[in-house]
Homo-oligomer: A and B are copies of this chain.
Amino acid sequence: MKRVVMLGFGTVGSGVMELIERNRAYLKSKYHNEMQLTGILVRDLEKYKGRGADGLLTTSFDEILAQQPDIVIEVMGGIEPANTYVRTLLERGVSVVTANKDLIAEYGLELMEIARTNNASVSFEAAVGGGIPVIKPFRESLKGNRIGSIAGIVNGTTNFILTKMYEENLEYNVTLKMAQEAGFAEADPTADVKGYDAARKLCILSSIAYDKMIRWKEIKVEGVDGVTKTDIQNARDIDRKIKLLAVSTRDGSEIHCSVRPTLVHKHSALGHIDNEFNAIEVEGDAVGKVMFTGRGAGKFPTASAVYGDLLDVLTGKTDMVLPLNDDTNYKLSKYYSRRSKWLVRLKVTSMPETIDLVLGSFPIHALKLYRLNDLDNVFFVVETEDELELYEKIVEMKSQNFVQDVKYFLMYD
């Protein structure tokens, strides 16, 4: 019988409690194992009363500690006080199962080091892709591979927003409100719409895949709040959708990680991942491309991942190997380093000069000019060796007096 405590009792927490109850008999008969939820830490007793756990609720972390738990489920989210609590518990040898990507992206490596020295473990399947099993495949099943790239749609909120913009031809602000009303976006949507949430998830996955510690604050992140109806329409004109894509590549000792609005073909595998769905594609030198898709958030999908982690702790399947490696010996490249196409959009004051400029900037065989009849929305597609080659031309374009604005999108086909 393992004693389990929970920090936080929001949507995910109540889902986890329900799964523990639902699977109690099964756990005993199949795994000859039992767990007992002995305490739930909340901020406000009144708020969480009447949810079927009244006897377990406490506002005192000391009381949680006094219960001498074997396992802690951390579903409170945010950095503090989650970080302090988890750290304190780990130091007492309590294994941690968490859904907290902010915490793992920020302090995961440190926490795992504390876990290792205290014969405990940190599991975080729920931190990326909700219920989609992806952390464990990355940590274990695919470890015979050298991973070369990852591409994912890992934020359901922004995917919902972009899907609505595409399907209903709406502006960003309108769809953000829809997402908030549908419960897919929080009152303060900053972490989602600015791409921070996706960046944290990408860095967690990349750190495991490449065995290098990658910090999300050091990578290129561009949110969806700059995407307009016209951008979506331009993409549609060339059979693409815009997705907030989290991409990382490894070439030798150089790693590129970025999160940004990206064009994917509407009939590609990623092009079908709509609304709140997530997808993570990974390419290994042995396995080739493997993709995982499903619901990336929500009460029960997330609880499903937490439960899987709990089972690992109960059956002794966690390990002391650091999935987030402390190796920082690599070069983080600011620019996407592989051959790719880009959609470039300009706002200009003179069409003839713009056409001359574009034709003069890129070899003709690498170019497709799409829209040359609207000064506010000139766009073309160009293929370059890497992002740097493009970026240098973009800087040049911006310096022209007839060019008022330039934006460009990665095309990930």
Q: Is there contact, CB below 8 Å, between B269 and A286?
A: no
Q: Which residues of B contact A272 (CB under 8 A)?
A: 267-269, 272
Which listed residue, B136, B290, B294, B306, touches A131 by the CB 8 Å rule?
Answer: B290
* Dominant SS among interface residues on chain A: mixed
B211 touches A30 (CB 8 A): yes
A130: chain B residues within 8 A (beta carbon): 287
A290's partner among B133, B306, B315, B317 (CB-CB below 8 A) is B133
With an 8 Å Cβ cutoff, the count of chain A residues facing the other chain is 53
Measured between alpha carbons, how far is A269 from B133 in the docked complex, in Å? Answer: 18
A57-65, A142-150, A370-378: which one contacts chain B? A142-150
Nearest B residue to A31 via CB reads: B321
A29, chain B: closest CB distance, angstroms = 10
Tell me, rounded to whole Å, the shortest Cβ–Cβ distance linking A273 to chain B.
9
Q: Which of A246-301 contact B (CB under 8 A)?
A: 267-269, 272, 284-295, 298, 300-301
CA distance A262 to B154 in the complex (A): 31
- Residues of B near A291 (CB, < 8 A) are 291-294
The interface centre, meaning the residue of A132, A143, A268, A303 with most chain B CB atoms within 10 A of its CB, is A143
Contact of A304 among B287, B298, B319, B325 (CB under 8 A): B287
With A and B bound together, what is the CA distance between A54 and B289 in angstroms? 33
User: In the complex where A30-B321, A269-B293 touch, is A136 in contact with B142 (Cβ < 8 A)?
Assistant: no
Other-chain contact of A308, B142, B288, B298 (Cβ < 8 Å)? B142
Nearest-neighbor residue (CB-CB) of A322 within chain B: B30
A286 and B321 form a contact (CB under 8 A):
no
Nearest Cβ on chain B to A271's Cβ, whole angstroms = 9
Q: Quick check: is A307 within 8 A (CB to CB) of the other chain? A: yes
Cα of A304 to Cα of B144 in the assembled complex, Å: 6
Residue A360 at the chain B interface, CB threshold 8 Å: no
Residue from the list B286, B290, B298 in contact with A19, Cβ < 8 A: B286
Known contacts A140-B136, A292-B291, A317-B140; decide if A286 and B312 are in contact (CB<8 Å): no
Q: Please, which residues of chain B bring their CB within 8 A of the CB of A131?
A: 142, 284, 286-288, 290
If the complex has contacts A292-B291, A304-B284, are A140 and B267 also in contact, measured as CB distance less than 8 A? Answer: no
Task: Tell me, in angstroms, the Cα distance from A298 to B286 when the chains sit together.
Answer: 10
Q: Does A404 contact B (CB under 8 A)?
A: no
Q: Is A230 among interface residues, defined by CB-CB distance under 8 A?
A: no
A363 at the A/B interface (Cβ < 8 Å)?
A: no
Asked if residues A141 and B305 are in contact (CB atoms below 8 Å), the reply is yes
* Cross-chain pairs A/B with CB under 8 angstroms, 7 sampled: A131-B288, A140-B308, A143-B307, A143-B308, A144-B304, A289-B294, A293-B293
Residues of A within 8 A of B (CB): 15, 19, 23, 30-31, 125, 130-133, 136-137, 140-145, 211, 267-269, 272, 284-295, 298, 300-301, 303-308, 310-312, 315-317, 319, 321, 325
A-B contacts besides A23-B144, A287-B305, A289-B295, 12 pairs, CB < 8 Å: A125-B141, A131-B142, A131-B288, A133-B133, A136-B137, A144-B304, A269-B269, A272-B272, A285-B300, A291-B294, A293-B293, A317-B319
